[in-house]
Amino acid sequence: MLRERGLNGRRLFLGAAVITACLALVGCESGESRRMRAGDTTPGPALQVELCRKLSKKGKRQDVGHEFTIGEKSSVLAFADFTGLQADRNYTVHMVWIRPDGRELFRRFAEFSLSGEGEAWTAEVLWKDALDLNDIKREEIAATGPALTLDSTFNISTDKEREPGKWLFRVYLDRRLVREEAFTVAPFQEVPAG
């Protein structure tokens, strides 16, 4: 009888441990981040990432692509276009640049929320320094709906001596990877005179 109780107790403990481990693995991933990561196209929150060389004076993205050449004054601009977000909900986002060897170069980190209705929407974005979370820069962005574009710039000028090769730009929403864009940084090529 005591032996049977001991076995049942162990089984109960093992079952609880398995359930706890499963919950820890699942974490507290939001439905939004799960959908974005899976590329789900049903109505609701979505994310598109676009990389480009520069912006026009009117703010239009120019030289959009996935291959960029190191130059005297060169950058890669990354835009994370979120749509279908929920109003009055707090989100966190990390935009991370990954070197060809897999190490992180740097990241931009923000917390944001949207409020509004109809055509009058506002996003409050709190940019935080990844090394000093008390260093906060507040930005208010007007929006036409439950959408928001956040950006990050990667300087590939010759003076930065960036490593040519295959780089990654990653977007995390609520600490879950939802998008990864690969791009190539080509070495600097001098244009012959004449």
Chunked into runs of 10 residues, the chain (194 residues) has average pLDDT values of 51 43 42 56 78 95 96 95 92 96 95 89 92 88 89 95 96 95 91 59
CA-closest candidate to residue 36, choices 99, 81, 102 = 81
pLDDT given for residue 82 in this prediction: 94
Q: pTM for the complete prediction? A: 0.75
CA atoms of 154 and 24, how far apart (whole Å): 34
Position 112 in a domain: yes
Domain interval for residue 86: 3-186
pLDDT given for residue 71 in this prediction: 93
Position 120 in a domain: yes
pLDDT given for residue 12 in this prediction: 44
What residue type is assigned to position 79 of the chain? F
Instruction: Tell me the Ramachandran region of residue 95: left when phi exceeds 0, alpha when psi lies from -120 to 50, beta otherwise.
Output: beta
pLDDT given for residue 25 in this prediction: 37
Position 194 in a domain: no
Position 192 in a domain: no
Q: How many domains does the chain have?
A: 1
Position 109 in a domain: yes
Position 146 in a domain: yes
What CATH number has the domain bearing residue 51?
Answer: 2.60.40.1930
What is the edge-to-edge ordering of all strands in the sheet holding 132-143? 67-69, 176-186, 165-173, 91-98, 104-117, 120-129, 132-143
Position 193 in a domain: no
**Inter-CA distances, 60 with 50, 55, 56, 139, 150, Å:** 12, 5, 5, 21, 15
pLDDT given for residue 189 in this prediction: 79
Position 191 in a domain: no
pLDDT given for residue 143 in this prediction: 84
